[in-house]
């Protein structure tokens, strides 16, 4: 079990998907996209890494973020190793130092992945590596690009040396432990977040109401996008429904790739004030 820790938007979900070899976590350039601890399974040769994409560390302010913080603490307690991720194209900040300090006293092996090195010029890489080393957590630092794959194989081989010996926890062809409904919801939410370009990630969630397979190569999905205000609903729907149509088109493409079938997607948008404080709804959404 390897926990992926780091500030929001350092590329944890992108790396998880790269290691697993298929998309299992929503990716966007908006902070705090990850809400659940999503497990991806990476099996290579004699090693099986169960990688847990943790929610970004943040101050709890409602039932949603309280659950996210509790899940982060729990998963760190279960991990055999931690991969702390930093963004090479950003300065080390207070959030990075806070996380490093928390990990340093945990008694768990910590490796640092300096992500997004493809955005740096060569002379900038050494200072970025030194800044990562100055955090004082972990003995091994790997410069990588989760987007291009540079350095990822070397990092994976290293992580394989940190996990304990034992039987595989998952079948060699299994990519994740999340249900099909949660995967579908994640892919739709990703499409919505990427296209709204507003401060909606915190207020937007997806409920999958129905998945039906009339035949092996066709799946019908009915899903609901939840927002908290009428104005947010207007953003997601867009003028003359153009935005929700664009979201549906983008989500359908990802869903067809993930499900290996033609997808009929029925999307609707509903305003539900205070849904982030609705404990029953959070249970249904799998945010525990």
Residue 19 lies in a domain: yes
pLDDT per residue as tens digits for the range 109-158: 999 999 999 999 999 999 999 999 999 998 899 999 999 999 999 999 99
Is the pLDDT higher at 244 or at 195? 244
* Contact of 138 with 96, CB cutoff 8 Å: no
In a domain? residue 105: yes
Residue 97: partners with Cβ closer than 8 Å, 6 or more residues away? 135
* 6 and 149 housed in the same domain: yes
Helix, strand or coil for residue 264?
strand
Query: What pLDDT score does 201 carry?
Result: 57
Question: pTM to 2 decimals?
Answer: 0.74
Same domain, 9 and 133: yes
- Distance (Å, rounded) from C-alpha 233 to C-alpha 229? 6
Give the separation between CA 161 and CA 164, rounded to whole angstroms: 8
Largest CA distance in the chain: 57
Inter-residue contact 17 to 51 (CB < 8 Å): no
Do 99 and 52 reside in the same domain of the chain? yes
pLDDT recorded at residue 64: 67
Report the mean per-residue pLDDT for the chain. 86
H or E element at residue 191: helix 180-196
216 and 263 fall within a common domain: yes
Question: In this structure, are residues 76 and 5 in contact, taking their beta carbons and an 8 Å threshold?
Answer: yes
Q: Are residues 234 and 99 in the same domain?
A: no
Banded model confidence at residue 182, pLDDT cuts 50, 70, 90: confident
Of the candidates 224, 142, 185, which has an alpha carbon nearest to the alpha carbon of residue 24?
185
CA distances for 152 relative to 142, 201, 212, 236, 276, angstroms: 8, 28, 37, 36, 36
User: Which residues on adjacent β-strands are paired with residue 265?
Assistant: 221
Range of the domain at 11: 2-160
Whether 32 shows a pLDDT value over 60: the answer reads no
Domain count of the chain?
A: 2
Position 29 in a domain: yes
Q: What are the φ and ψ backbone dihedral angles of 57, each rounded to 5 degrees?
A: -70, 130
Q: Round to whole Å and give the CA distance between 243 and 31.
A: 21
Answer for the pair 221, 265: CB distance below 8 angstroms, yes or no. Answer: yes
Residues 199 and 139 in one domain: no
Query: What token pair was written down for 219?
Result: 């799946």
Q: Classify 181 as helix, strand or coil.
A: helix
Alpha-carbon separation of residue 32 from 29, 129, 203 (angstroms): 9, 25, 11
Do 192 and 266 fall within a single domain?
yes
Hey, which residues does 49 pair with through a beta bridge?
42
Which residues are CB-contacts of 247 (< 8 A; sequence separation ≥ 6)? 188, 191, 192, 195, 225, 236, 267
């Amino acid at each position: 079990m390897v926990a992926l820790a780091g500030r929001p938007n350092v590329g944890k979900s992108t790396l998880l998907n790269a290691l697993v070899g298929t998309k299992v976590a929503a990716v966007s350039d908006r902070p705090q996209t990850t809400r659940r601890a999503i497990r991806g399974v990476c099996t290579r040769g004699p090693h099986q890494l169960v990688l847990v994409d943790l929610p970004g560390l943040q101050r709890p302010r409602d039932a949603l973020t309280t659950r996210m913080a509790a899940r982060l603490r729990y998963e760190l307690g279960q991990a055999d190793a931690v991969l702390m991720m930093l963004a090479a194209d950003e300065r080390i900040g207070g959030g990075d130092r806070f996380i490093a300090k928390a990990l340093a006293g945990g008694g768990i092996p910590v490796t640092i992945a300096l992500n997004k090195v493809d955005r740096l010029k060569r002379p900038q890489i050494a200072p970025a590596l030194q800044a990562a080393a100055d955090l004082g957590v972990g003995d091994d630092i790997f410069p990588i690009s989760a987007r291009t794959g540079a350095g990822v194989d070397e990092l994976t081989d290293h992580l394989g040396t940190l996990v304990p010996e034992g039987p595989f926890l998952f079948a060699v062809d299994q990519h994740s432990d999340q249900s099909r409904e949660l995967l579908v919801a994640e892919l739709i939410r990703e499409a919505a977040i990427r296209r709204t370009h507003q401060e909606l990630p915190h207020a937007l969630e997806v409920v999958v109401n129905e998945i039906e397979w009339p035949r092996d190569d066709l799946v019908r999905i009915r899903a609901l996008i939840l927002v908290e205000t009428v104005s947010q609903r207007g953003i997601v729907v867009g003028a003359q429904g153009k935005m929700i149509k664009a979201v549906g088109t983008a989500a359908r493409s990802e869903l067809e790739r993930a499900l290996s079938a033609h997808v009929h997607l029925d999307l609707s948008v509903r305003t539900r004030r205070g849904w982030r404080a609705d404990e029953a709804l959070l249970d249904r959404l799998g945010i525990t």
